[in-house]
Structure 1
Amino acid sequence: MNKELIMPTEMTIKDKKQLVKGNVIRAAVFARSKVIEVMTADNERYYFIYYKNTLIYGDKLDKVEEGTFISKAFSEGLVIQSPHPLATALIPHLSVSIPNKSRLFPQLEIHFSLEEMAYIATTLDSFIEKEQLIKTIDKVFFHFRRDGNFMKSFQVLQMLNNFAPAFKSAKDRMGSQEFHSYHHFYHSSSLPAIFKKDPLYVEIHCFKNRSNPEERILLEEILSKQDGLIGLLLWLETADKLQEPKSIEKYTEIALSFVTMEEWIPILGEVNINPFCELPETKSIIQKMLQKGHYTQAALCLLNFIDDLPASYDAFLKEIWENSDSKFVIAHFDEFIKLLQHLPHDEKSKQLEQKVFQIAAILLEEHDLNTVHEKLAPIQTLHPDSEVIRKINEMFELEENPDRMMELGDFYAEFKQFDKAIDCFFWEMELQPQNPSPVRKICKMYQNKGMVNEAAAYQKVYAQLKRNQETG
């Protein structure tokens, strides 16, 4: 995705009594949970855990340990790398305060069910000792069992066993006779049937196994009723393999709740969907950009699809070429070469020459002549009569001929490469120390550079050589 026009998502963090600002580096969705990674100007990294869009906890971490929930979220979840148009939509608040760790679980118990609190505990192992989390989950288990709610106690026990498979007590309880019927229910029932009893389990199971068609379909159904944004990210994960027009239209409608069409176009490009072939309304979007003079934005949208654009976009491409800054063209040179192939070969020779001249001048400033010659070769293929390219070709040949440095210098001067021109004229001046012509040219180059003292010095040398010539 072209990210030149996407601003990074900035977050403000209240850490104890200090305010810290940082940019979101990436975000990961894992079922009902999210992880946001933020980097400060001092390269410190903060991580924040959310559950159902509620901030649970966060803090600064020097390292994310392998096997923790945060590590799993970024390796197995739906990940967005920043900057990304959907990043801001994914983060509930761009200003957060790190919760008090000592009051964390009492607060969670107020806002969430006990089984949800048990699950949330499994996501906090980067911040809280695992033994403490095990004890917290275990307490929830015993609470349900004491109340005679064996189904919920079994649900929590499954979480605990998955979270801490080496915890022998949980393993022993899983195999006990009192939970045999629940084992049978989870292993023999369909996922929709289990969902009625344990929606959290099914949602997490389907998310982990979303590569399987059955689980993915059910997960899509669940998300369609809960969270359109997560459903959108789920679709984007495999959209490049399932390019069905109805599906693209459906998720475009959902996406426009979170981003603009201008932002949605490059997102589709990232999953290899050409919006200019699939969505007719995109043409009017580009037209409006150009009417507002947003040529760079329009170019960044179209250049991704330059190999497969309908012919009706050629007029837009011509307008973009004529109005794009030369430095921007160079930054996307390969794509602009393809753009030129869409343009008619007549009527624009003068305009083309002006643009190619500007491009050549910038390239000569940044690269050696051989590199410039190679970079501009594709333009010669498309426009063999270009006078600018002819001059570059001639310069390329002159560079190997020390007897024609004056000519090479004149070419450099024409392209406003005054330092390189001076080098050529110096060479000639050393070969012909009595010839005033290269000295006069050096004087002129310093004048063009605004170096008055140097120009005056060479003007004196030139005047002396001219007098010597006249009296000789």
Structure 2
Amino acid sequence: MNPTTIHVKQQKDNLVLVPSRVVFYEQMQLVETFDDQSECHMLFFYKQKYLTAVRTTRLKIHSYVARAFKEGTVYESQHPFLQALIESNAPLQKISYPQLKKKIARPYSRQEQAKILTFFESFIPKKQLFQDMKSLFYQYRREGNMSGAYRVIRVMRDFAPNNRFVKEMANDLSYRKLANLYLEQSHTLMERDPLFKEACTSFEDHQRLLEKEGRWIEASSRQLSHFYNQPTPESYQSYRASLSRHFDCDSRTFILEQMSQAIPSFQPVTEDLFQHYVANENVMGVARLYTERELQLNEEQLNQVEVLLERNRFDETPDNLLPFMKRLTAQHPEQTRALLDAFIIRLLETMELEQVHDSLMSFTKKSSLMRKVERMNEIREDLDCMQELGELYYGFQQLEKSIECFQMEMELKPSTPEPLRWLSKVYADKQMMDESKAYQQLCVDVQKWA
């Protein structure tokens, strides 16, 4: 699903990093990665746009990043959100702090620049960060933009609430009217302060804002969290439509699996996941979901399962499907009769006879093939029954094992033509005509001598 490595350009050697997890917090996304020396590198994003990478040994306890990991939404490395975030920003390049300040000066307001600087408290001296924010504040002041200056002060207040300068500016009478507007959550003020608007707006309005700004990964993350908090059919249908717009089939399946694990009792997710597994011919996914969720299949779903299993011949490891087939055949004995026979044949192709017999003991429905397996298990070490065992193996199309039985019968009873006839027949089925003719001639000779 996710890229196993992330490549980040830097001045000397490029960094090759393995992602560990990603956190979404406010407007920031942070990807935690590790290099081949197990050193941690943080990749910073603001509103889904890549900023830079920073190597770190530890985080300050009360830093913005530490708070993000504590209060934000974290996804592990295999999540499609992380993949989408990396792919939409490639190629990535590590830049210095002075370069970062220049990079963010072009597309972002000074308020947003101040906000971005707070991300780096664990890596850049706090005094330096504070001075740079203060410079942004004074740029607004010199322009006479009191509203912009106060917006920066609000960011600085969150960053350094006990700083004397911040306290003085926050309580300055010049900003009293603006402070009251924030308390009132003025609509006019929200249009001027996008960060405040995101913090105060309704879920629906916030989603529309994110979609409008092209921040669909953030929107999808918030919508997923909203669904977990309110798992209603309406919220699920809305999120399902969003998944279809933005993610490919594999990513949708992954997210549905996560949702199914988080809310196993929510039936619409389970049903959609079942259809994804069927469409992708994921036999083990269907089996696991059917068994763990105790699904009740309707006629159409049962037909889908039958077609899937017939096409895939029960996957490469049919023994893993034993719990699935046991429950399926018990619930639908008549409809799955042929399917059960095909399953038994497949088991014999991949497992020893004794293992197949023991595995089928717990099945409540005993088919004719099961009884044949029981008989085969009874006589498998009886030298007087090698002819019968060979014929039973042949009935299961286990040609190599039938040959072994008939050859042993031939050695035990050299004057009997019957095993020779069978050997000629089996080799003919294997399109080994020289061997078939040889045994046919040997059979004729034995009959003459008799």
With structure 1 as the length reference, what TM-score do the two structures score? 0.66
Question: Which amino acid in 2 is paired with 1:265?
Answer: T
Deviations 1:285-331 (A, max 9, x none): 666544xxx65676678777662554421122234445366665556
Aligned match of 1:346: 337
**Letter of the structure 1 residue corresponding to residue 344 of structure 2:** E
- Relative to 1, partners in 2 of residues 1:143 and 1:267: Cα closer, same or farther, differing over 3 Å? same
For 1:301 and 1:7, locate their aligned partners in 2 and report how far apart those are by CA, in whole Å: 23
**Contact residue 325 and residue 340 of structure 2 kept, 8 A:** no
Q: Return the offset for 1:142.
A: 2.1
| Cα-to-partner distance string for 1:185-237 (whole Å, 9 max, x where unaligned) | 111234x443112112221x24xxxxxxx743442232232223321211111
Are 2:212 and 1:216 equivalent residues in the alignment? no
Q: How does 1:250-399 map to 2 (within 5 A)?
A: 250-272=238-260, 274=267, 283=275, 288-290=279-281, 295=283, 307=295, 309-322=297-310, 323=312, 328-329=317-318, 337-341=326-330, 343=332, 344-357=335-348, 361=352, 376=359, 380-383=362-365, 386=370
Equivalent AA in structure 2 for residue 254 of structure 1: S
Deviates more, 1:45-54 or 1:103-112: 103-112
Alignment partners' CA distance in 2, 1:184 and 1:245: 40
* Whole-angstrom CA distance in 1 between matches of 2:209 and 2:171: 31
Q: CA deviation at 1:159?
A: 0.6
- The 3 A distance-change label for structure 1 pair 274 and 265 is farther
d(CA) in 2 for partners of 1:345 and 1:47? 54
Aligned partners of 1:362, 1:166: CA distance in 2, in Å? 77
| Counterpart position of 1:164 | 160
**Equivalent residue in structure 2 for 1:54, among 45, 49, 54:** 49
Compared CA separation, residues 159 and 178, structure 1 to 2 (3 A): same
Aligned to 2:74: 79
2:8 is the alignment partner of 1:13: yes
| Change in 2 beyond 3 A, CA 1:311/1:277 | farther
SS in 2 for 1:102: helix
SS at match of 1:173: helix
RMSD (Å) for aligned C-alpha atoms: 4.0
CA separation in 1, counterparts of 2:296 and 2:224? 21
1:327/1:362 contact within 8 Å kept: no
Aligned residue number for residue 147 of structure 1 = 143
Name the count of aligned residue pairs: 373
Q: SS where residue 95 of structure 2 aligns?
A: coil
Structure 1 pair 12–137 and aligned structure 2 pair: CA distance change class (3 A): same
Sequence identity (%): 18
Matches within 5 A, 1:198-209: 198-203=193-198, 205-206=199-200
What's the secondary structure of 2:150's corresponding residue?
A: helix
Q: Look up the SS of the partner of 1:29 in the other structure.
A: strand
* Alignment pair present for 1:88 and 2:83: yes
Paired residues of 2:278 and 2:305 also in contact (CA < 8 A): no
Distance of 2:112 and 2:373 partners within structure 1: 69
Letter in 2 for 1:171: K
Instruction: Report the secondary structure of 1:18's partner residue.
Output: coil
Distance 1:128 1:20 in 2: 21
Q: Which residue in the other structure is 1:234 paired with?
A: 222
Partner of 2:106: 110
Report the Cα distance in structure 2 between the residues aligned to 1:36 and 1:326, rounded to whole angstroms. 36
1:33–1:50 contact (8 Å) kept in structure 2: yes
| Deviation by residue 1:387-430 (Cα, 9 ceiling, x = unmatched) | 59969999xxxxxxxxx9x9xxxxxxx9xxxxxxxxxxxxxxxx
Please say if residues 49 and 89 of structure 2, whose CA atoms lie closer than 8 Å, have aligned partners that are also in contact: no
Residue matched to 1:129: 125
- Tell me: CA distance 1:10–1:336, structure 2 relative to 1, closer, same or farther (3 Å): farther
8 Å CA contact 1:28–1:79 kept in 2: the answer is yes
The answer to whether residue 181 in structure 2 is matched with residue 185 in structure 1 is: yes
Structure 2: runs of 5+ lacking an equivalent = 261-265, 384-392, 394-450
Take 1:146 and 1:363, find their aligned partners in 2: how far apart are those partners? Answer: 88
Q: Deviations over 1:136-191 (max 9, x none)?
A: 1111112222332211111111111111223232123212322221221111234x
Distance, in Å, in 1 between the alignment partners of 2:98 and 2:36 is 29
Deviations 1:405-456 (A, max 9, x none): x9xxxxxxx9xxxxxxxxxxxxxxxxxxxxxxxxxxxxxxxxxxxxxxxxxx
Counterparts of residues 425-436 of structure 1 (less than 5 Å): none
How far off its partner does 1:46 sit? 1.6
Deviations 1:371-395 (A, max 9, x none): x97xx48x7144456459969999x
| Distance (whole Å) between structure 2 residues aligned to residue 174 and residue 361 of structure 1 | 79
Identify if the C-alpha distance between structure 1 residues 40 and 391 changes in structure 2 by more than 3 Å, giving closer, same or farther. farther
- Gapped regions of structure 1 (runs ≥ 5): 1-5, 207-213, 395-403, 407-413, 415-472
| Residues 1:33 and 2:28 are matched in the alignment | yes
The TM-score with structure 2 as length reference comes to 0.69
Question: How far apart in 1 are the matches of 2:55 and 2:318?
Answer: 41
C-alpha separation in 2, matches of 1:166 and 1:336: 66
